[in-house]
Amino acid sequence: MVAPSLLSADFGNLESEMQWVNASHAEWLHLDVMDGVFVPNISFGFPVLKHVARLCTKPLDVHLMVVQPEKFIQQVAELGAFLMSVHYEACTHLNRVIAQIHEAGMKAGVVLNPSTPVCMLEDVVCDVDVVMLMSVNPGFGGQRFIPSTMSKLARLRRLLDESGSHALVEVDGGVTLDNASMLRKAGVDMLVAGSCVFSAPSPVEACNQLASL
Ligand code: DX5
Ligand code: ZN
């Protein structure tokens, strides 16, 4: 399954970008919110997200790269998002934040930066619906995949199996047509793909090709 990331879209042509996404085999639309504090970049905020939510027929996967993401749970729920993912590194009280996301009627995802080990999730994997590994340092599209993500994925798979968690595994950053099969074999359920899809000669074909792997 694949979730194209809006970060690499042409923001001057959101209607046509959403038209191809709606017609594609994409499972979700991935939305990256950045605050310039948790990550060294700023992306888009709720006015843009509301516009996109109106245009997009795919389920919305909202990835918050912000400090204190719990402040925005209500606004993300009001967008109609089905999944809100927060960073382990941004939540002092992660267990509470996960419960609050569920109370707001959404699925909850937890995200790990490349330098955060999988073992930090031992006590939450049974409470979350998605575990997402960053395979680049978050903040920018178009970066190169960090190879050590592969051994981390093996450790995550083991942790999920041993704890009986049914969380989906998502990988975000540097996904390409060249590494997608390897990621699938490593047990990745959802591939987030930004630049590799949006900069392709035919984004819809690139997206469908990733979805078929
Ligand atoms: C990076 C974002 C990603 C980004 C991925 O901080 O979280 O979702 O859009 O872009 P690519 O696929 O170009 O690495
Ligand atoms: Zn993302």
The 10s digit of each residue's pLDDT in 154-187 is 999 999 999 999 999 999 999 999 999 999 999 9
What separation in angstroms does the CA of 17 have from each of 5, 10, 56, 152? Answer: 11, 7, 9, 33
Ligand 1 pocket test, candidate residues 84, 136, 175, 191, most atoms within 8 A of CB: 136
Which amino acid makes up residue 196?
C
Q: Which of 104, 69, 106 is nearest to 89 (CA)?
A: 69
Instruction: Note the pTM of the prediction, 2 decimals.
Output: 0.97
Residue from 2, 5, 62 whose mutation best tests the ligand 1 pocket (most atoms within 8 A of CB): 5
Ligand 1 atom index nearest CA of 30:
8
Q: How confident is the model at residue 75 (pLDDT cuts 50, 70, 90)?
A: very high
Q: What is the DSSP string of 77-93?
A: HHHT-SEEEEEGGG-TT
* Pocket of ligand 1, beta carbon within 6 A: 5, 7-8, 30, 32, 63, 136, 138-143, 172-175, 192-196
The fold adopted by the segment(s) 2-212 is: TIM Barrel (3.20.20)
The answer to whether 207 and 24 have CB atoms below 8 angstroms apart is: yes
Which of the ligands is closest to the CA of residue 200? Answer: 1
Helix then strand then coil, in percent of the chain rounded to 5, is 40, 20, 40
Of the CA atoms within 13 Å of residue 157, those in its CB half-sphere come to 14
Residue 79 has which token pair?
A: 């967008």
In this prediction, residue 103 carries a pLDDT of: 98
Active-site positions read: 32, 172
The tokens for 143 are 């970066």
| 171 Cα–ligand 1 center, Å | 10
The C-alpha atoms of residue 133 and residue 161 are separated, in whole angstroms, by 17
Residue 132 CA to residue 168 CA, distance in Å, equals 8
Contact between 114 and 132 under an 8 Å Cβ cutoff? The reply is no
Domain boundaries along the sequence of the chain: 2-212
Q: How distant, in Å, are the alpha carbons of 115, 133, 202, 212 from that of 138?
A: 11, 10, 26, 26
Which pLDDT value is given to residue 138?
A: 98
Helix (H, G, I), strand (E, B) or coil at 145: coil
Atom from ligand 1 closest to the CA of residue 34: 6
Q: What is the pLDDT of residue 112?
A: 98
The C-alpha atoms of residue 184 and residue 80 are separated, in whole angstroms, by: 28
Tens digits of residue pLDDT in 19-44: 999 999 999 999 999 999 999 999 99
- What letter represents residue 73's amino acid? I
